[in-house]
């Protein structure tokens, strides 16, 4: 039987690698919908190659350019937020891969899950922001979300078919990013070009910066909490510089299962696509001979984003949305060299402390917290770092 796949965010890093995996898998997998933001050029090439039934670009102009291309027979083109929701609930799709960047993935995720779709989730922000709502809606407990993040895929694989209540702790591994071991003074000097170089993983820009600040791991802690029904206290972050052990699960009897492999996002992507089966591939294999693996405590003082994520999760309600949004805005300003690397956690902490948390939020509360946070973070940066309410 052919498995039909919709990919939301197909021109990003995870989206492109998903298409690569589908090509490597060969027959048995078919692409039925592709979506992107504004990159009509690349989406057009993907459409020509994979012949989906639907292609969506969030930006209306880009969608128009795409539909003007002559060679898209049998492919419906849509634009805007509505188009993303159409793709997320596309009738023929057996599996919806959610590979968008940031908070924009939240509404399509809700739509897909409400439609009963199985989702391969790479967009961690939507779970960070909306986990509490998804839980309340009963959308988390149906085994319909297959994790794509390497750490969560690892936990999922280590859990296998174990009974609930058998897990004592989860060790979420973190490479530590390019600046692990540096002190506050050295971190102040970090430039975007340095932060964009990850020692082990080849990933998109936003997530690479999040890796360098450890916010990525913080978001993953919250993601793991919702995905696997864990308490925050059960999730331990452990620095593992080699990025070979992708995470570990400790059971109540003291037995630990660890999932290992090359740091290659195509492996967890493939597992989500082929689950519950596994398929052979020609990707490089890890060989343990002559190798060392080591594990250290995170540096909580010099990488405060990790602690902020635990704080936000502990507060709950709309606070994780504010954590995520303040981080998105701060990273954007860091990349534009408007704030320094160490300003990122400082900005997030200030925005969080000025937020009045709405508990048991509805979708609209989360959307409003996000809108508030975007204004608030930008204003804070403009005022605090530039003494200017309008920004520069």
Shortest Å distance, C-beta 167 to its own copies: 9
Count Cβ atoms within 10 A of the Cβ of residue 202 and give its class: 0-12 exposed, 13-18 middle, 19 or more buried. exposed
Which residue has 């696509």 as its token pair? 273
Shortest Å distance, C-beta 151 to its own copies: 13
H or E element, residue 133? helix 124-136
Residues 6+ apart with CB under 8 A from 253: none
Nearest of 266, 31, 238 to residue 148 by alpha carbon:
266
Residue 296 carries which DSSP code?
A: B
Shortest Å distance, C-beta 246 to its own copies: 9
Phi, psi (deg, nearest 5) at residue 248: -140, 150
Shortest Å distance, C-beta 239 to its own copies: 9
Q: 21 or 326: whose CB is closer to its own copies?
A: 21
316 contacts 125 by C-beta, under 8 angstroms:
no
Count Cβ atoms within 10 A of the Cβ of residue 362 and give its class: 0-12 exposed, 13-18 middle, 19 or more buried. exposed
Shortest Å distance, C-beta 207 to its own copies: 21
Q: 275 or 384: whose CB is closer to its own copies?
A: 275
Q: 73 or 165: whose CB is closer to its own copies?
A: 165
Helix-helix angle 13-25:40-50, to 10 degrees: 10
Q: 75 or 239: whose CB is closer to its own copies?
A: 239
Binding site for its own copies (CB under 8 A): 157-158, 160-163, 166, 171, 238, 245, 248, 250-262, 267, 270-271, 274, 276-281, 283-286, 288-297
Q: 32 or 249: whose CB is closer to its own copies?
A: 249
Q: Which of helix, strand or coil describes residue 8?
A: strand
Q: 154 or 329: whose CB is closer to its own copies?
A: 154
Shortest Å distance, C-beta 69 to its own copies: 36
Other beta carbons within 10 angstroms of residue 353's beta carbon come to: 8
In the chain, what's the furthest Cα-to-Cα distance?
Answer: 62
Residue 372 carries which DSSP code?
A: H
Q: 233 or 356: whose CB is closer to its own copies?
A: 233
Q: How far is CA 139 from CA 5, 136, 145, 263, in A?
A: 20, 8, 9, 30
Shortest Å distance, C-beta 274 to its own copies: 7
Query: What does the alpha-carbon distance between residue 135 and residue 205 come to, in Å, rounded to a whole number?
Result: 30
Q: 190 or 244: whose CB is closer to its own copies?
A: 244
Shortest Å distance, C-beta 141 to its own copies: 20
């Amino acid at each position: 039987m052919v498995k039909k796949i919709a990919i939301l965010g197909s021109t990003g890093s995870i989206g492109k690698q998903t298409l690569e995996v589908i090509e490597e898998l060969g027959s048995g997998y078919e692409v039925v919908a592709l979506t992107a933001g504004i990159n009509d050029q690349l989406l057009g090439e993907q459409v020509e190659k994979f012949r989906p039934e639907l292609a969506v670009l969030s930006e209306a102009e880009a969608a128009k350019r795409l539909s003007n291309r002559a060679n898209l027979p049998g492919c419906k083109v849509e634009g805007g937020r509505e188009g993303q929701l159409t793709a997320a609930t596309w009738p023929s799709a057996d599996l919806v891969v959610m590979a968008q960047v940031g908070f924009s993935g939240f509404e399509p995720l809700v739509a897909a899950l409400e439609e009963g779709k199985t989702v391969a989730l790479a967009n961690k922000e939507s779970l960070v922001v909306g986990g509490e709502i998804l839980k309340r809606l009963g959308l988390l407990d149906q085994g319909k979300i297959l994790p794509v993040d390497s750490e969560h895929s690892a936990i999922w694989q280590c859990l296998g078919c174990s009974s609930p209540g058998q897990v004592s702790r989860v060790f979420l591994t973190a490479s530590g990013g390019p600046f692990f071991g540096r002190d506050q003074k050295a971190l102040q000097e970090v430039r975007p070009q340095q932060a964009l170089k990850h020692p082990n993983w080849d990933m998109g820009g936003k997530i690479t910066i999040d890796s360098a600040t450890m916010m990525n791991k913080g978001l993953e802690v919250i993601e793991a909490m919702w995905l696997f029904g864990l308490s925050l206290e059960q999730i331990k972050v452990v620095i593992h510089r080699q990025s070979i052990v992708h995470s570990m699960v400790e059971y109540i009897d003291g037995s630990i299962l660890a999932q290992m492999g090359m740091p290659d996002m195509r492996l967890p992507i493939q597992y989500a696509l082929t689950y519950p089966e596994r398929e052979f591939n020609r990707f490089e294999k890890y060989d343990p001979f002559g190798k060392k693996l080591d594990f250290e405590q995170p540096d909580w003082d010099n990488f405060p984003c990790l602690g902020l994520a635990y704080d936000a999760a502990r507060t709950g309600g709309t606070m994780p949305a504010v954590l995520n949004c303040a981080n998105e805005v701060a990273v954007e300003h860091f990349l534009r060299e408007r704030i320094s690397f160490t300003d990122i956690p400082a900005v997030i902490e200030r925005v969080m402390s000025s937020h009045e948390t709405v508990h048991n939020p509805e979708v609209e509360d989360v959307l409003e917290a996000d809108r508030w946070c975007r204004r608030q973070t930008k204003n804070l940066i403009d005022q605090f770092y530039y003494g200017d309410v309008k920004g520069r």
